[in-house]
Homo-oligomer: A and B are copies of this chain.
Amino acid sequence: MIQAERRFEILKHLHTEGAVYIDQLSSLFDVSPMTIRRDLASLEEEGRLIRSHGGAVLPETLTQEIPYQTKLSSYTAEKQEIARKAVERIPEHSRVLLDSGTTNLEIAKLLSKRDDLLIVTNDAKISMELLNSECQVISTGGELQRGVGAFIGAHVQEFLKQIKVDIVFIGANAVHPTEGISTPTLEKSYIKKQMLKNASVKWVVADYSKFNKRSFAHVCDLEEINGIITDGQIDSNTVEELQKVTNVY
């Protein structure tokens, strides 16, 4: 066994075991510990492992996926509750469209093991969240809204026109019993409208702080959607009001 071969084996070992030990490698390859040390030093220089007393481990960047700082959003607990309810409504082998927003990000976090799903999203953070997941992920691309992580612009429109999905989860800034769903910018309302157009089942996700509000740009009426998924803190009068025109979960 030659040097390059041994070093390659060390890396292989490291990747399967997560860590390697000098005395273990030394007896495995029947070479002196000093030789292994030199191997590890060289591999560390290449950035392929991190040395530590007695052995080496994988560099952090390899083991953990970067939890891309998902800026602490408000009402996280509520959004997680909504997300749990939402994933129950995703049948196997669905094609799912996830609108941008933190509630949908929570949904994405629960989907990483669902290898039966195809997920389309216009949210960069959701893409990253699913980078190491089992599902197939498609991003719309487009102009990145700074800070937010949503893709916007005409390109998103064009992209969405080209696809059909089974389920869409739309985020909402404002939900009103008679005025329906609205959002602060025209731009986003166009995108959400297009999303609703090409989905068979349409859900709106919104925590209790979004209800009985109206925003600038109208997205859709409540009759057009299959239902609203929200959290337990929503006021019961509001639920009653809403249930006249749509389902509330």
Could you tell me if B62 and A47 are in contact, using CB atoms closer than 8 angstroms?
A: no
A61 to B68 alpha-carbon distance, docked (Å):
11
Give min CB distance, A205 to chain B, whole Å. Answer: 16
Residue A125 is within 8 A (CB to CB) of chain B in the complex = yes
Closest-by-CB residue of B relative to A69 is B62
Give min CB distance, A1 to chain B, whole Å. Answer: 7
A138 to B152 alpha-carbon distance, docked (Å):
9
Give min CB distance, A174 to chain B, whole Å. Answer: 17
Could you tell me if B142 and A146 are in contact, using CB atoms closer than 8 angstroms?
A: no
A149's partner among B56, B75, B131, B133 (CB-CB below 8 A) is: B131
Q: DSSP class of A's interface residues: helix, strand, loop or mixed?
A: mixed
A136's partner among B15, B72, B143 (CB-CB below 8 A) is: B143
Please judge, given known A-B contacts A2-B53, A48-B70, whether A137 and B132 are in contact too, CB under 8 Å: no
Of A3-11, A178-186, A219-227, the one touching chain B: A3-11
Q: A62 contacts which chain B residues (CB < 8 A)?
A: 69-70, 72-73
Residue A76 is within 8 A (CB to CB) of chain B in the complex = yes
Please judge, given known A-B contacts A5-B52, A141-B159, A142-B138, whether A47 and B19 are in contact too, CB under 8 Å: no
A141's partner among B55, B72, B125, B138 (CB-CB below 8 A) is: B138
Could you tell me if B138 and A144 are in contact, using CB atoms closer than 8 angstroms?
A: yes
Residue A128 is within 8 A (CB to CB) of chain B in the complex = yes
Residue A50 is within 8 A (CB to CB) of chain B in the complex = yes
Please judge, given known A-B contacts A46-B75, A142-B141, whether A57 and B159 are in contact too, CB under 8 Å: no
A2's partner among B21, B46, B72, B127 (CB-CB below 8 A) is: B21
A48 to B209 alpha-carbon distance, docked (Å):
13
Q: A11 contacts which chain B residues (CB < 8 A)?
A: 70
Could you tell me if A141 and B143 are in contact, using CB atoms closer than 8 angstroms?
A: no
Q: A68 contacts which chain B residues (CB < 8 A)?
A: 128
24 sample A-B contacts, Cβ–Cβ < 8 Å, listed by A number: A2-B52, A2-B54, A3-B52, A4-B50, A4-B57, A5-B18, A5-B52, A5-B57, A15-B70, A46-B209, A48-B70, A59-B73, A61-B73, A62-B70, A62-B73, A124-B127, A125-B131, A131-B144, A131-B146, A131-B149, A138-B141, A138-B143, A139-B142, A141-B155
Question: With A62-B72, A138-B155, A139-B151 given, can you name 4 additional A-B contacts, CB distance below 8 Å?
Answer: A8-B57, A46-B209, A48-B73, A131-B146
